[in-house]
Amino acid sequence: MTKKFIIVELTVDPANDGQRLDKFLAHRFSKLSRTRIQSFIERDLASDRPMKASSTVRTGMVVRMRREIEDEPETPTAFATLYLDDTLLVIDKPAGLPVHPSARYHSGTVTGRITERYGPGFASPVHRLDRETSGVLVCARTPGALRSLSDDFFHGRVHKTYVAIVHGHPAQDDLLIDAPIANGSALVRIAMRIDSAGKPSRTQVHVVRRFVYDGKPMALVEASPLNGRQHQIRVHLAHVGHGLIGDKLYPDD
């Protein structure tokens, strides 16, 4: 049987600016081993110029990789367009739809769905939302818009508020969670963790309502990350004993 391949495009965001190529790919494909990442670089890059593991990636750069088409989990196909002009596309991302291609997902992503609806190269996501998170996602349609908006997100000039239901009844109506976040351990690389040697991370939390469901105390909260760490809200809320309902990766500490 002849193998079929697709070209996956990975856009470098400010958080990865200046990284080595192998570290950038390891961040995007967190479940893959270093050996697999090295194999990708040696055999599957579809770059216009030669690149190696130590090559530096910059904000806005597009890394193209050849990926074998494999069966992937089904993801939502529909999304609402909230705003569209010559430089911006803003969508309502449904839960269950990953933003970027990964080891498990290639076409069933936001970038893939945008291509299906509008055509190749129409827009690139400026920031990220976790796969199971729904909400507003900003995409840029020009290199200039991508650089400018990425810089705004990276330097905290964009205010983001998330709504979540958590375990338990927080004692305070308003709290600031200040705990540094680091990459996961060798055993669970996809998960982030609280670590004194990690990057400074703060999340502002406001309790909207406390309630009991099926005999279990829960709360509706608004959470605003003051930094942009991966899984920040999930990690922080679990750290203070009020993990998100249904979050299997971050149980309450």
> Which candidate, 131, 121, 115, 122, places its Cα nearest to that of 30?
131
- Choose the catalytic residue: 17, 130, 152, 253: 130
Q: What is the largest CA-CA distance in the chain?
A: 61
How far is residue 100 from each of residues 9, 13, 67, 198, measured CA to CA in Å?
9, 12, 14, 25
Distance CA 234, CA 6 (A): 33
Joined together, the tokens standing for residue 24 give 């950038």
Residue pointed to by tokens 């997100």: 153
Distance CA 136, CA 160 (A): 10
Question: For this structure, is 173 an active site residue?
Answer: no
Q: Kindly list the catalytic residues.
A: 130
